[in-house]
Amino acid sequence: MLYEVAGDILLSRAAMIAHGVSPNDNFGQGLALSLREQWPALYQDFRHYCKTQHASTGGLWAWMDADGRRIANLFTQEPPKSAGGHPGRATVQHVGHALKELHRMVEAEKIKSLALPRLATGVGGLEWSVVHPLVEQHLGTLKIPVIIYTRYEKGVVAKEPALS
């Protein structure tokens, strides 16, 4: 079930947070930067993954910290044109493929709840009116609470239906 809330996604009680990035992303802005600051090991492990594996758009890479917090990094954006450069733009195709992969992973790993921002609309550059139907299509059939953070409010714990 999809729920829309306002608040700080870093304070979500969902079992997994998903967000959009590019292969070889430097996590230098937006939610990725906040995640990098909150969990430095996430970024270190992400860099290692990108250097040793072939991260490709439309896929995902999931991470878990020692306390069990899970982050799904969805490859919704084109990679930077040069090392250390800004990530490219997101595409509808990349978002759709990444959400399909996320759906598979949530079911296979029995994730209990999921939180995500208005995916690919910040640094990714897409309009929410284009992305929202993809979220509904790929995540709306999940039998778990899917919390969509439609408005960021720093330090505010959102009222997350079904996670109370």
Instruction: Report, in angstroms and rounded to the nearest whole number, the Rg of the chain calculated over CA atoms.
Output: 14
Is the CB of residue 10 less than 8 Å from the CB of residue 39? no
User: How many Cβ atoms are within 10 Å of 20's Cβ, its own excluded?
Assistant: 32
pLDDT tens digits, one per residue of 81-118: 766 667 788 999 999 999 999 999 999 999 999 999 99
pLDDT at 157: 96
Kindly list the domain boundaries of the chain, sorted by start residue: 2-152
Confidence class of residue 73 from pLDDT cuts 50, 70 and 90? very high
Q: Which of 91, 100, 109 is nearest to 22 (CA)?
A: 91
Rounded Cα–Cα distance for residues 34 and 54 (Å): 25
* Residue pair 8/154 in contact by the 8 Å Cβ criterion: yes
Which CATH class name applies to 2-152? Answer: alpha beta
**pLDDT at residue 164 tops 80:** no
- As a whole number, mean pLDDT of residues 59-65 equals 96
Model pLDDT for residues 4-31, shown as the tens digit of each residue: 999 999 999 999 999 999 998 888 888 9
Q: How far apart are CA 41 and CA 106, in angstroms?
A: 22
Say yes or no to pLDDT of 123 above 80: yes
pLDDT of 71 reads 97
